[in-house]
Amino acid sequence: MVSPGARVVVRRGSRSRPFVAVLAVVWLAALIVPAQGGQDGPSIWDGVFTEAQATRGKARYAASCASCHAEDLLGGSGPALVGESFMQRWHGTTVADMVQTMRQTMPQDSPDSLGTPGYTDLVAYLLKSNSAPAGTTELAPEVAALQRVRITPQTAR
């Protein structure tokens, strides 16, 4: 029982609750902002590489990739690099993700051996082989430029 005139302090929670709430908001914003940030950049359907770049990529492919992925890109000991399953694997990512993955893993016997321009040319060839249109500007090999180019289904342009 509380005596008359006594001061009663009621705690409605701990001091950490506002901090936890702010932390949760910041965490959610960090998840949402990058996902939306890529929406402003071009997609692979906006002519983000040139015919000349895709031609260089085709020559690089023949020399470094076809032995595992086949001349027609339909796969051999390595997976197919054309078609719905290939495009679905990359859906929602960026060209930077594709280039980085290729650099880290291909060619299987010598990863990261083709140089950034070589991998960028290969990606141009793969995009063209998957029906993405060529444009008037080459796909730049700089990571920041590659991160802006989204890989989307053709209907999501």
Given a contact cutoff of 8 angstroms between Cβ atoms, the answer to whether 115 and 3 are in contact is no
Please report the domains of the chain, with CATH numbers, ordered by start residue. Answer: 42-156 (1.10.760.10)
Token pair, residue 22, equals 């702010």
Token pair, residue 8, equals 């009663």
Tens of pLDDT, residues 49-83: 999 999 999 999 999 999 999 999 999 999 999 99
Q: pLDDT over 90 for what percent of the chain?
A: 72
**At 157, is the pLDDT very low, low, confident or very high (cuts 50, 70, 90)?**
low
Average pLDDT score, the chain? 84
Signed CA dihedral, 90, 70, 53, 121: sign only: positive
pLDDT at 99 over 80: yes
pLDDT at position 27, please? 40
**At 6, is the pLDDT very low, low, confident or very high (cuts 50, 70, 90)?**
low
